[in-house]
Amino acid sequence: MLCREGHCRKLKTLRTVPKETFCGQEENGKDHIKVSTSTTGDNIAPNMTMAPSLAGIWKNELGSILSIDEHDGNLFEGTYLTAVKSEETEDDIKLSDIVGFQQQDNSFTFGFTVRWSFSDSVTVFTGQYFPDSENGEILETMWLIRSNVDNHSKDWEATTVGKNTFVRWSLDKCSPEIVEMFTKRKN
């Protein structure tokens, strides 16, 4: 779609847009989308006027991997592989499904829920996308994990809160075992 003056295109996914697509003109007092190149060579837009695409692989500071599938609109799905193992379960860690929403237009906020495939817990994440010229693209998140408890008197100990920072990642940087997990899941 062209902007009102026809200067530039406003596209859903900014990561694949060539620099010359955007004109740098102003519309309604706001700069049009300006694309710069991160240290990894990916296109990012520090002055975005549209929501970015969250699709792709993300890794947090603990080594957990989040995969968000391509999506149309504000609903997205994907998978999560945690690097953190609970002492409460002896089960192996497995890929777990996620479903979430991303605000559209001028908002970079999102939220998603992880339904753990190896435990009786559920985690909700909420956060914001930030293009960062030093570190590439990042997702700053806060989370709540809810564990199942035997009775109401233990309700107070059932929820834990935390914070994670995710950076855009590539499966090429992961171990062959992790690549195989995600590849099998997609097929």
What was the pLDDT predicted at 182?
81
What was the pLDDT predicted at 49?
54
What was the pLDDT predicted at 27?
41
**Contact assessment for residue 157 and residue 149, using Cβ atoms and an 8 Å cutoff:** yes
Element containing residue 112 per DSSP (H, E): strand 109-115
Q: Which residue numbers in the chain have pLDDT < 50?
A: 1-46
> Can you give the pTM of this predicted structure?
0.70
Neighbours of 138 (CB within 10 A): 19
Q: How many CA atoms lie within 13 A of 52 on its CB side?
A: 26
What was the pLDDT predicted at 50?
64
What was the pLDDT predicted at 185?
73
Residues 6 or more apart whose CB falls under 8 angstroms from that of 77 comprise 68, 69, 71, 97, 98, 99, 100
What was the pLDDT predicted at 148?
92
What was the pLDDT predicted at 88?
60
What was the pLDDT predicted at 135?
73
What was the pLDDT predicted at 90?
62
**Contact assessment for residue 169 and residue 58, using Cβ atoms and an 8 Å cutoff:** yes
Read off the tokens for 107: 């908002």
